Chains A and B, each alone.
Chain A
Amino acid sequence: MKIIIMGCGRVGAQLASLLAIEGHQVTILDIEDYSFRRLPANFSGTALLSDGTDEETLKKVGIEEADAFISLTQGDNRNVMAAQIAKNIFNVPKVICRIYDPLRRELYNSLGIQAFSPTTIFAQMLKKELES
Chain B
Amino acid sequence: MYIIIIGGGKVGYNLAKALIDEGHEILLTEKDAARSAAIIDELGSACVRGDGCEVTTLTAVGTSRADMLIAVTGDDEDNLVACQVAKHKFKVPRTIARINNPKNETIFKKLGIEDTISSTNVILEYIREEVPTHPLTHLLTIKDKGLEIVEIKISPDSITVGKAVKELSLPPGSILSLLIRKGSKPRVPTASTVLQAEDQIIAVTNPESEESLRIALRGA
Which of B81-89, B190-198, B203-211 lies at the binding interface? B81-89
Please name all residues of chain A whose beta carbon is closer than 8 Å to the beta carbon of B77 when the two chains form the complex: 53, 75, 77-78, 80-81
Most chain B beta-carbon neighbours within 10 Å: one of A101, A104, A110: A104
- Alpha-carbon gap, A123 to B89, bound state (A): 24
**Chain B stretch 93-139: residues in CB contact (< 8 A) with chain A:** 103-104, 106-107, 110-111
Contact B103 A54 (CB under 8 A): yes
**Can you pick out 9 interface pairs between chain A and chain B where the beta carbons lie within 8 Å of each other?**
A55-B103, A77-B75, A78-B77, A80-B81, A81-B76, A101-B54, A103-B56, A104-B53, A107-B85
1/0 per position for A67-104, CB-CB distance to B under 8 A? 00000000111101100110011000000000001011
Number of residues from B at the complex interface, CB < 8 A: 20
- Alpha-carbon gap, A103 to B53, bound state (A): 10
Contact B89 A89 (CB under 8 A): no
Contact A88 B111 (CB under 8 A): yes
- Alpha-carbon gap, A88 to B80, bound state (A): 14
Q: Measuring CB to CB, which residues of chain A are less than 8 angstroms from any residue of chain B?
A: 53-56, 75-78, 80-81, 84-85, 88-89, 101, 103-104, 107, 110-111
Q: Which of B53, B54, B78, B111 sits near A84, CB closer than 8 Å?
A: B111
- CB-based nearest B residue for A107: B89
Contact B103 A104 (CB under 8 A): no
- CB-based nearest A residue for B59: A103
Contact A85 B78 (CB under 8 A): no
Contact B89 A81 (CB under 8 A): no
Please name all residues of chain A whose beta carbon is closer than 8 Å to the beta carbon of B78 when the two chains form the complex: 77
Please name all residues of chain A whose beta carbon is closer than 8 Å to the beta carbon of B89 when the two chains form the complex: 107
In the complex, whether B55 has a CB less than 8 A from a CB of chain A is yes
- CB-based nearest B residue for A101: B54
Q: Which of A85, A88, A103 sits near B54, CB closer than 8 Å?
A: A103
